[in-house]
Amino acid sequence: MPLRDRLCGVGIGSLLFLAFGASGCSGNAPTSPPGVMANYEGQWSGTTSQGMRITFAVSDQRVTSISLGYNFNSCTGMNTFPNLNLVIGSPPNPGSPNPGPGFGFGSGAPDGPNYTQIYGTFSSGTAATGTMIFGDYAGCGNSLGIWSATKK
């Protein structure tokens, strides 16, 4: 069974719901919000629940790069995803636990090796929070967590 199906079917709370909302469990992607959004442009930096660093850049209301550290089951490292063009949009369900504008990214097929999923929402023009999933990391398995970041 593919990792996406295994994780989507687990039902371990809103963390996975939020994380996979942008990756394909529901098939919905963020849409452009009505009205005006805050200005998110700049460099963002924060910490994950695994005690690692997350940084990302926003330009023209798009996430253009993400670096995300991981530390689980004896695996430690940093994933860097440059040259992104992730539109910041409103989530598909305004009643979701994190109704602010957000973004989502998956590093490839959810059932592939070393899959990384990142989802984030902005609570203001200077604060963001989100979820992360690491799937099928060789010798280490799977992990998930949360993160928070602020704009520099």
Q: What is the pLDDT of residues 14-73, one digit of tens each?
A: 333 333 343 333 334 344 444 457 899 999 999 999 999 999 999 999 999 999 999 999
Given a cut of 50, whether residue 1 has pLDDT beyond it is: no
Interaxial angle between packed helices 3-10 and 14-21, expressed in degrees from 0 to 180 and rounded to the nearest 10: 140
Q: What is the pTM of this model?
A: 0.74
User: Each residue of 70-107: pLDDT tens digit?
Assistant: 999 999 999 999 999 999 987 655 555 556 799 999 99
Q: Give the domain extent around 139.
A: 3-31+38-151
Q: Do 151 and 42 form a contact (C-beta atoms < 8 A)?
A: yes
Number of Cβ within a 10 Å radius of residue 33: 15
Q: Do 127 and 148 form a contact (C-beta atoms < 8 A)?
A: yes
Residue 56, H or E segment = strand 53-59
Nearest CA to 142 out of 22, 14, 50, 25 is that of 50
Whichever domain contains 64, its CATH number is 2.40.128
Q: What gap in Å lies between CA 24 and CA 61, rounded to an integer? A: 22
Q: How many domains does the chain have?
A: 1
Nearest CA to 117 out of 43, 35, 14, 15 is that of 15
| Residue at 140: amino acid letter | C
pLDDT for res 38: 86
